[in-house]
Chain A
Amino acid sequence: MSEAKKAVVTGVNNAVATPNSVSLKTFYSDMLLIRRFEERAGQLYGMGLIGGFCHLYIGQEAVVVGMQANIAPQDQIITAYRDHGHMLACGMDPKGVMAELTGRSTGYSKGKGGSMHMFSSEKHFFGGHGIVGAQIPLGTGLAFADKYRNTGGVTLTYLGDGAANQGQVYESFNMAQLWKLPVVYIIENNQYAMGTSVDRSSAQTQFYKRGVSFNIPGEEVDGMDVEAVYAAGRKAVEYCRSGNGPMILEMKTYRYRGHSMSDPAKYRTREEVQTVREKRDPIEHLGQKLVSRGIATEDELKAMDKDIRLVVNTAAEFAIESPEPDLAELFTDVIA
């Protein structure tokens, strides 16, 4: 139990681990933390404590947990607005993330950023971006700086299937390959961009092939299987770290909730969502494996859930009780 709790508090195991030493239990608790956190965020939204847009990551947990387990402390992470899971997986404090969602002074951006705009220089998490596609050149630039400064760092740049159609993605791909930049582009293909399914938006729906004309290798990965993500991520990160240039990973995944809290999601059937939940849920799936392989018992998993719910409840209480930012903060941080 104390082991599970430690995993929750520190987020993922950020050390470069060999496949043998990777704790599947840590994957489980990291995914469950994201799930429980997001459920609670949805609830606080329902109570009017979180405003504006709030994009939940429920269903996609295996992607970020499997990827982040492969990176080293000097590496960088950047994503779009569906970012709570990425922040938790970077080891950012659930309290600070939740407090940002409620717009309080104790949030990661002092309440000024909100759900879509959080950052942590300590954890090398560069946001948190609301403009679809914008983070891809930014992530490419993070990798450029690492190569320039010779830090050995690799950048994980996450984007959606919808974002994959923005022109700046291909401008980035070209530069990244031209200059052999150490960046992994992780396309989280959850099959929808708002109400538009990939086959209604995309001439090439096999996103891992999107780098073909730039000679960037790509791989399709079962993004609902954290072990598969981990293995693919490991290869990709090593490839980039060794100076070979960029790589593309297409994660086949699924979001259970609407695009944001106010999306009625009429563009897909309830059965479609239920089927994924029942047959492919990344957390259920790993839980069953842990039990059947004798790595954990049902009771241990329950105890983990209990600990995680406590962490999330503490975060929610903190986020509700923290004060709003001081009014003087309106004019701070605009320019140095």
Chain B
Amino acid sequence: MSTQILMPALSPTMEEGKLAKWLVKEGDAVKSGDILAEIETDKATMEFEAVDEGRIGKILVAEGTEGVKVNAPIAVLVGDGEDARATAAPKAAPASVPTTPAAAKAAQVPVAQTVPIKLEDPSLPEGTEFVTMTVREALRDAMAEEMRRDDTVFLMGEEVAQYQGAYKVSQGLLEEFGARRVIDTPITEQGFAGLGVGAAFNGLKPIVEFMTWNFAMQAIDQIINSAAKTRYMSGGQMHSPIVFRGPNGPAARVGAQHSQDYSAWYAHVPGLKVISPYFAADAKALLKAAIRDPNPVVFLENEIVYGRSFPVPKIDDYVLPIGKARVVRPGRDVTLVAHSICVGLILEAAEALAQEGIDAELIDLRTLRPLDTETVIESVKKTNRIVTVEQGWPICSIGSEIASQMVEKAFDWLDAPPTKVTGKDVPMPYAANLEKLALPTVDDIISAAKAVCYRA
């Protein structure tokens, strides 16, 4: 009785990996828990353990092989002759377990994607060179540059130092800046967020990383009651120049408590600035602006976007003003507005719409508070139609606010009701099919855009 050992998926986003090293050889006896091999994923090198007992009959994929697809057979496990009875039990061995199409699809989370668009920035000198980098790297570089420039800037959060960040955003910072300025905290969000605000009152410029914004709910009182309101309550005497940052919104299959978009929550609060970029250049330039800003800034990143690569201008000290939206693509027929990961969706939707003769203008809000309504109004004056897109819930959403502003300030230019495409009004389900249904899709955007254009 022999069974195949399959290449495992070792992270929610892994589709293939490198078989870095075999730790067993043909003929070795193994039991469950023994480490069979080291496998390199996009993010890390992982150990792969045996589940069943037996002997390694044959190694099918040599060590050092790159691009081994998940679920490809990598070795054959045979039962020990004298112990055939014990090894006959695990009949449903990996090879014989069918992967249902639904589950297979669920594993395919979008990975790095390069969008071929030109990011115009009138403030850049003619002939500026661009380098391609991931959003993850851009954020790290922004922090590193600001920390080099200003000793009062420091980074604090769970796993930011020795582990190099739970999502590897702070990679290399401990090495460069040392433990005085890159600080691992206990799991005490309210404590270290409040500590950060106090440190900001007293002359420092903290960057507080939340492992994800879901966990900042433990600390939201300090963000709102202490950070956002103190300038006002003290009659302008005291303030907190602090940046709260981390990944926001749903990742993949992590369920209701770990998949929430806080854009509208923080955008609601006077005394805060709220930034939520999509492109690497904006992530870098706006994080630098946030660190220098004298106000508390909520900086909402996105885990899935971390790995995407975009061009970033190769100039010293690239900083952009907070509060300006970006027209990503000019168009005449309909305005599509988004921020963060949904900018990727409107880019895709615009391409499909173009095929059908609808010329969409795309706006990346970049900052959610203060909201750049001016840029949106200018666009609506041209297109007379607007669709907003976000992953957050529909009630009191960013889209609700934009719709209200358009009705108030651009009513005469509207040829159709402002329309929202949002996440569904439910907690995030875990099941792959329901999760897909809960999130806004390119198709939803295309239908909404056609509807406001009165096209079937």
Contact = CB atoms under 8 A, between A and B. Distances in A.
Interface of A: 35-36, 39-40, 42-49, 51-53, 58, 100, 102-104, 109, 111-117, 129-133, 162-163, 165-167, 193-196, 200-202, 256-258, 261-262, 264-267, 270, 277, 302, 305-306, 309-310, 313, 316-317, 320, 324-325, 327, 329-331, 334
Interface string B114-156: 0000000000000000000000000000000000000000000
B255 A313 contact: no
B100 interface: yes
Contacts of B90: 309, 313
B70 interface: yes
A44 B99 CA distance: 10
Interface string B28-62: 00001101000001011111110100000000000
Contacts of A39: 32-33, 49, 51
Contacts of A44: 97
Nearest to A44: B97
Interface in B265-291: none
Q: Is the interface of B mostly helix, strand, loop or mixed?
A: loop
A265 B44 CA distance: 10
Contact of A302 (B86, B103, B106): B86
A327 B107 contact: no
The prevalent SS among residues of A at the interface is: loop
Contact of A43 (B94, B99, B254, B430): B94
A48 B433 contact: no
Contact of B430 (A111, A131, A266, A277): A111
B53 to A, nearest CB: 9
Contacts of A51: 12, 106-107, 252-253, 430, 432
Interface string B46-84: 111101000000000000000000110000000000000
Contacts of A117: 255-257, 430
Given A40-B51, A47-B94, A306-B89, A113 B218 contact: no
B97 A316 contact: yes
B158 interface: yes
13 contacts: A47-B8, A51-B430, A115-B430, A116-B255, A130-B214, A131-B214, A167-B190, A193-B187, A196-B163, A261-B11, A264-B43, A320-B98, A330-B438
Contact of A306 (B86, B94, B186, B218): B86
A131 B6 CA distance: 33
Interface string B175-213: 000000000111110110000000000000000000000
Nearest to B255: A114
